[in-house]
Structure 1
Amino acid sequence: MIKISTSPLSDLLTAKIAVILQDGPVVNCPSLVNTEAGTAIAKAIAASSFGGAAGEILPIPAPVATDLDMLIVIGTGGAQTPLDYRKAGAAIALLPQVLKAGEIALFAPDNALDVLRGMALRAYSFDLYRAAQPVLKSVAICGADLDITALSALEADVSSIHFARDLINEPANVLSPLEMAARIARAGEAVGITVEILDEGHLNALGCGLHLGVGQGSDNPPCMVVMHLGPGEKPPVALVGKGISFDTGGIHLKDVHGMWEMKGDMAGAATAAATMIALAKTGYKGDAVAVLGLAENMISGNATRPGDILTSYSGQTVEVRDPDCEGRLVLADCLSYAQRALGAKTVIDIATLTYAVQIGLGTRYAGLYGNAPELRDSVIRAAGQASEKIWPMPIDDEFHAELKSDFADMVNWPGVKYGNASIASAFLENFIDEGTDWAHIDIAGPSYVGAGTAFSPPGGSGVIIETLIGLLRDLA
């Protein structure tokens, strides 16, 4: 997480590298107007083709009458939304001159927080197993009057997103279910969250047969992490996260191409945990819980077979047609636990659940399902405020009908070619009790980005965390 500080406007010209954001070719920084340095910079701009368009970059080496090694002018012409300014910030964080220096002074009086958020999100690199890569480490905001509370919230949000990325990017030989649970517990307890880890024996005593069935093929035992935040005065809002530390597909073995990305099949649990940590850092006043279902889906003589029948925490039975549809099994027990053991009446689950959602929505949109229009609209509104992409998708009786089994209460997959993202959501809805408002967010597309995005290098993205933070603050 970059270090952010504020400085007088006069400090802008004493840094190694200064960055100015402006929407046209005329220098608009007060400390440069009617000065020798400003005149020289204006001449450099005039001699170039710089017009101030969004994303346009003009480096000016060692401007006269300054101590700067370089001044970089970034165009923001046409920028109208917070996302535009975030993109400008992210672009700054990737400039070679900025990466080399590691620190900058920035003049961005308008929308400075949005610019900073973009910078902070992009200034991330996972370097535990390679030489450290250059990243922007510190930013001094010159001349902007920043709201300290808003700045603290930004730092809490982004540091929590980086925490989630760290978990997603860890290889599965390091991040077993129990290791992930331990890291989440340490991070959560450090900010005042009460954390329980329910081990394999506890899950067996509870009757979480679906969760146990997924993990029984692995030498790394499954567990459930329960996080509690708030005074406990009313039914909590529950976040439920899928946490498959590695997914081979089980006996329904996945294709080798891209299987390495299955270390990220725990992104839903990382997302839920990071959201709770961010809320705790900013003095969340509501009641919230997170239930994280952690397991590893492996092949062995003990692995669940196609045709096996498992009994859930809710008492419903499931015929396992496809061991590679394991995430919904773990989520089902966690959803029931959140409602019946913790008393949640509003539940949002987050999961890298289906490839099918990517067929309809691509790799940048999350799919949104659920049973409560008001909650759905709240999620969409929070996503809009966070500049994250989400799209509502259907569940109805036709999808439920596909789940019929001749031997159990339902199958986990009906063997059909189409509609599988909605069918998976219909499966989850079978574990939502009457009177519970529920939303399911399928992040299979945007959670792990092989080529990176404007705000994330390749790997775990931390998508939807900002949406959930805003949502829970609104619901508190």
Structure 2
Amino acid sequence: MQISFASPASVEAGVLVLGVFADGVLSTAAAGIDKQSKGALSRALKAAPKFKGGRDETLSLYGLPGIGTDRVVLFGLGKPDAVDAVGLQRAGGVVAALLNQTGAAAATARLDGVAIVGKDGAGKDGAAAAAAEFAFGVRLRAWRFERYRTTEKPEAKPTLKSLTVQTGEAAAAKKAFARADAVAQGVFLTRELVSEPPNILNPESFAAKAKELAELGIEVEVLGEKQMRKLGMGALLGVGQGSAFESQLVVLQWKGAGGKRRDEAPIAFVGKGVTFDTGGISLKPGQGMWDMKWDMGGAGVVTGLMKGLALRKAKVNAVGVLGLVENMPSGDAQRPGDIVTSMSGQTIEVWNTDAEGRLVLADALWYTQDRFKPKAMINLATLTGAIIIALGTDHAGLFSNDDALAEKLAAAGKAVEEKLWRMPLADSYDKQIDSDIADMKNITGSRDAGSIVAGQFLQRFVNKVPWAHLDIAGTTWSGKDTPTVPKGATAFGVRLLDRLVADNYEG
């Protein structure tokens, strides 16, 4: 879909989209249309008591007199003094969904008089930001995974082809949107990877997809099993040994910090990439196992994040490490009771082969901190069902050995509406994974505090690097539409981590 920006002008074709504040207070653009239609807009609002101008509300009007378009769509902005980026993104997403559902091909959103509160007292920057964030929401919601649809009827397909956003600060809005659109492209790569079926996306094809990022200036390295064996990555390799596909470790480097910061230590992101998780010999129940195609969600987020950083030329040194394996049962598969030696030299007794993600991350985290000496290290993983029991699908679990890093992550998540909830780490939990015959075991044998115990396991492989673990098992896939995320792969974490970088690590 094409998105463009222009100065306010009359609209003679397509759908006209206008904002309305809480309690039916008209925006500047809406007030102008009300006057042009001799009060028809105000009368329509009085006749539609359910539309109050609140967040996520819409109202379609037809045949207003004196208007060049046959249809006007109103969307709610909430209170004028509380207009923010997330609210405008949600508004754009809700409008995009409505227009696609009702057959619109082209639309013009007039945002005269709409500004994000707190941006430049005169409202100039706030107006540009408002237009850009609205367009960003439209872009995020309009994405659709269509690769395998072959018999869909035309009337079921999305119709919206173009959107023009009118604002008094069109040039500044276009510039702001370019940055947001770069992040959106990263989001879409993650959604695409997570949506792919496991017969298409395996460790080797995932690594090949990651190699394409070299076109954006990202340095890409792929380590195969022979190289990982030399490095002593017995934990990661044990998970993938039952698969017909070779396990891979992908290293992505974006060196965007220039000048005196050129050699600055990077911030590192590590992703669990189990492209399909049967549970291995500890086989999962068949019901719902199809969901396990997205057990590579953490690696998908890291890949999309790195693309977004490169596209927007982020002024930061960043490293992304993807641990890519397929967990399959076979005659070569890892067994419960096996002991593996990790790259760190620590030995792990494998009590359950379905607690495999932590084994992959053990070697990926150790490799990352050992090679790159990062200023901070964040891993993402669809790690435990226990986090879904604890937090549901609204928050991801946050575990960290560093309060300052945890606070930065929580703030970034709140700013982009990808919410985190901090969970505890403590010696009392750590002692539960001590093994009688190895340095540790990968589970406790109890269902108690499952996500916390997994976090404690990972912490044994980070040394003293400021580190955070995001358990995104409940937020990687959505069973329903939300204003900016269509049903399916969410890419939860891409916008969060991009915001973390922008607010805390760029020069």
Q: Same fold (TM over 0.5)?
A: yes
Letter in 2 for 1:219: A
Worse-superposed segment, 90-99 or 355-364: 90-99
What is the CA–CA distance in structure 2 between the aligned matches of 1:341 and 1:112, rounded to whole Å?
43
1:38 Cα offset (Å): 5.2
Which position in structure 1 is the counterpart of 2:224? 199
* Deviation readout 1:178-220 (Å, 9 max, x if unpaired): 111111220x212110111111221122211111101000101
Q: How far is the alpha carbon of 1:99 from its aligned partner?
A: 5.2
- Between 53-62 and 22-31, the greater mean CA deviation after superposition: 22-31
CA deviation map 1:15-70 (0-9, x unaligned): 31111011144544448357543544344334443443433332122333333131
Q: Distance in 2 between matches of 1:471 and 1:53?
A: 29
Q: Is residue 2:210 matched to residue 1:184?
A: yes
Residue 102 (structure 1) shift:
3.4
2: CA distance, partners of 1:157 / 1:290: 16
Query: Is 1:335 aligned to residue 348 of structure 2?
Result: no
User: Which of 434, 438, 451 is equivalent to 1:408?
Assistant: 438
The residue type equivalent to 2:163 in the other structure is: V
Tell me whether 1:16 sits opposite 2:39 in the alignment. no
Query: Is contact 2:29-2:110 (8 Å) kept?
Result: no
Cα offset for 1:469?
0.5
1:112 aligns with 131
Instruction: Rate the CA distance shift 1:340–1:54 in 2: closer, same or farther, 3 A.
Output: closer
Give the Cα–Cα distance (whole angstroms) in 2 for the partners of residues 164 and 97 of structure 1. 23
Deviates more, 1:46-55 or 1:381-390: 46-55
Q: Is the 8 A contact 1:196 1:226 kept in 2?
A: yes
1:61 matches 2:62: yes
Aligned-partner SS, 1:204: helix
1:148-196 CA-partner distances (Å, limit 9, x unpaired)? 432111101112101100000000000111111111220x212110111
Aligned: 1:278 with 2:308: yes
Which residue, out of 130, 136, 139, partners 2:163? 139
Residue of structure 1 equivalent to 2:267: 237
Q: 2: CA distance between counterparts of 1:19 and 1:127?
A: 27
Matches of 1:102 and 1:210 in 2, distance apart? Answer: 52
In the TM superposition, 1:201-220 aligns within 5 A as 201-220=226-245
Aligned residues: 472
Moved more, 231-240 or 167-176: 231-240
Within the candidate set 453, 466, 472, 2:495 is matched to 466
* Contact kept? 1:99, 1:136, Cα under 8 Å: no
Letter in 2 for 1:229: W
Deviation at 1:318, TM superposition (A): 0.6
Which of 340, 353, 358 does residue 383 from structure 2 map onto? 353
CA contact (8 A) 1:20 1:29 kept: no
TM-score, normalization: structure 2? 0.89
Consecutive unaligned residues of structure 1, counting only runs of 5 or more, are none
Equivalent position of 2:403 in the other structure: 373
Specify the code of the residue in structure 2 equivalent to 1:62.
G
Q: Which residue of the partner structure matches residue 445 of structure 1? A: 474
Secondary structure at 1:100 match in 2? coil
8 Å CA contact 1:17, 1:103 repeated in 2: yes
Whether the 8 Å contact between 1:26 and 1:42 is mirrored in structure 2 is no
| Cα offset, 1:266, TM superposition | 0.4
Task: Give the stretch that moved more between structures: 195-204 or 56-65.
Answer: 56-65
Query: Which residue does 1:4 correspond to in 2?
Result: 3
- What is the CA–CA distance in structure 2 between the aligned matches of 1:322 and 1:97, rounded to whole Å? 46
SS in 1 for 2:37: helix
Matches within 5 A, 1:3-152: 3-11=2-10, 13-23=11-21, 24-25=23-24, 27-30=26-29, 32=32, 35-37=35-37, 39-49=39-49, 50-78=51-79, 80=82, 81-96=84-99, 100-108=103-111, 109-110=114-115, 111-131=130-150, 133-134=157-158, 136-145=160-169, 146-152=172-178
How much does 1:7 deviate? 1.8
Residue pair 1:449, 1:460 contacting (<8 A) in 2 also? yes
**In structure 1, C-alpha distance between the alignment counterparts of 2:168 and 2:236, rounded to whole Å:** 51
Is this contact kept in 2: 1:17–1:98, CA < 8 A?
no
The alpha carbon displacement at 1:77 in A equals: 3.3
Q: Secondary structure of the equivalent of 1:10?
A: coil
Equivalent position amino acid for 1:37 in 2: S
**Structure 2 Cα separation of the partners of residues 446 and 154 of structure 1:** 22
Following superposition, the deviation at residue 430 of structure 1 comes to 0.6
Match of 1:386 in 2: 416
- SS of 1:354's equivalent in the other structure is coil
Q: How many angstroms does 1:135 deviate by?
A: 5.6
The letter of the residue matching 2:96 is A
Which residue in 1 is equivalent to 2:329? 299
Q: Which residue of 2 aligns with 1:221?
A: 246
SS at match of 2:41: helix
Secondary structure of the residue that 2:253 maps to in structure 1? Answer: strand
SS at match of 2:3: strand
Conservation of the 8 A alpha-carbon contact between 1:92 and 1:98: no
Q: Could you tell me whether the CA contact under 8 Å between 1:93 and 1:99 is conserved in 2?
A: no
Q: Which residue in the other structure is 2:123 paired with? A: none
SS across alignment from 1:257: coil
Using a 3 Å threshold, how does the CA distance of structure 1 residues 55 and 339 change in structure 2: closer, same or farther?
A: closer
Query: Equivalent residue of 1:147, what SS?
Result: helix
Aligned to 1:139, the other structure's residue is in SS state strand
Q: Is the 8 A contact 2:19 2:26 kept in 1?
A: no
Q: How big is each residue's C-alpha offset from its partner over 1:431-461, in whole Å with a ceiling of 9 and x where there is no partner?
A: 1123x11111110011111233332222210
Contact 2:56 2:483 in 1 (8 A): no
The alpha-carbon deviation at position 223 of structure 1 amounts to: 0.2
Q: Percent identity?
A: 36
Structure 1's consecutive aligned runs of 4 or more residues displaced over 6 angstroms after TM superposition are: none
Partners of 2:34 and 2:41 within 8 A in 1 = no
SS in 1 for 2:444: coil
Range with greater deviation from structure 2 (42-51 or 415-424): 42-51
Tell me the C-alpha RMSD between the 2 structures. Answer: 1.9
